[in-house]
Structure 1
């Protein structure tokens, strides 16, 4: 609801907590004299997930819990299979979006370079497809996929006990 008289901010108009669910209200992306175009936060969430997975070195998305639920969902007859939105949370405002990604990387991939490539790909896809300005893409690397770990990915490897406090 930015008008010529009100100052614009650098943060998106909140759509509530970053749940990214498709049930949240859609947001204004284009307002012309001929009508309005709205884009649901679930659309931005799905675009972000697909764009992140396109980058070589990203093994999968989500933390241990979301991956476990995804594995269960894949086994349900008539289910939708893996969700393109697993590991993706978004906050969509009227003209801006903020995105949080949880990723699992392939062993050997340079994490810093991979994060830059994922961020670039997600921003490009969301901005090109929706017209929304992406103000941030936060990436959390939750695990590393080792070659030969193609068995049960539902639980991440236990973290070794820390020697540092």
Structure 2
């Protein structure tokens, strides 16, 4: 049985309601958590590439990238494709939080819900931490997310009455 059903959560996957690029984050992270993400990506079989600005480079150790100086000129991103046609972009901006982008237009229907749930479950289990998603620009107000205690993705708000 899937964690979430499309008919129950389709509003949370509507780019017109949520914004095409919702905020997804892992709170209370560390450099060690970032390294666990790097290790997971390398061992997962997912396609990925690491970029400094637009230059693809070998994936360094997280400790070589973080913490980022406030005045860092280059951007550091990890592009992950858990399945063909779906891209998640991790932005290494802070050692204390793991942020990544995804495009809801790539995650439609039950298959899209399942892809997102599978991805955040794998990530959350590896870290032993919640992985939260909120509407674009509504950082800090999660609507759904991986709950480590429940070991699955759960709703954190009513998908019918978004209030946004």
TM-score greater than 0.5 by the shorter chain: no
Relative CO higher for 1 or 2, CA cutoff 8 Å, sep ≥ 6?
A: 2
TM-score, structure 1 as length reference: 0.28
TM-score, structure 2 as length reference: 0.28
Between Structure 1 and Structure 2, whose CA radius of gyration is higher? 1
